[in-house]
Amino acid sequence: MGIFEVVSIGIVAAVLVLLLKDKQPAIAYLIIVLTVLYFFIFLIQYVNEILQLVTYLGEEANIQSFYIKTILQIIGISYIAEIGSNIVKDAGLESVAFKIELVGKIFILILAIPIFQSLIETIINLFPMS
């Protein structure tokens, strides 16, 4: 059922938005937001399975859970920022959408700093300065 349900709901939402956007733009926008929320809720079950698989593979590869958790947070931030930005763009607020993307990138950078630090420390330990 999965992809057919998503595509069907997407098509119905698109048609409704096209019919309503000129006469009832607020309702059309609400349909967009509700459709995106439905898709997000629909995907949560699959995201949970992916997270469990990635965590398991990381444990099997003896990768510290901190790194896996950080990478998954970075991926989550990028998706959430993109979805939020696209919703705001649909409302015609390009400048706010840009700020959402910028904040998402800053959060990603903040999360990546410990990984960069660990990488630099590892390189320094591999090639000690005499």
The rounded distance, in Å, linking the Cα atoms of 27 and 112 is 40
The rounded distance, in Å, linking the Cα atoms of 8 and 41 is 16
Question: How big is the chain by its Cα radius of gyration, in Å?
Answer: 20
Tell me what pLDDT residue 24 has. Answer: 92
Q: Is 116 exposed, middle or buried (0-12, 13-18, 19+ CB in 10 A)?
A: exposed
Tell me what pLDDT residue 101 has. Answer: 96
- H helix or E strand, kind and range, residue 54: helix 25-60
pTM: 0.74
- Give the residue extent of every domain in the chain: 1-46, 64-130
Tell me what pLDDT residue 27 has. Answer: 93
Per-residue pLDDT of the chain (130 residues; tens, 9 = 90+): 588 988 999 999 999 999 998 999 899 989 988 998 898 888 888 888 888 888 888 888 888 888 888 988 999 999 999 999 998 998 889 999 999 999 999 999 999 999 889 888 888 888 877 6
Tokens of 74: 């970075």
Residue type, 88: V
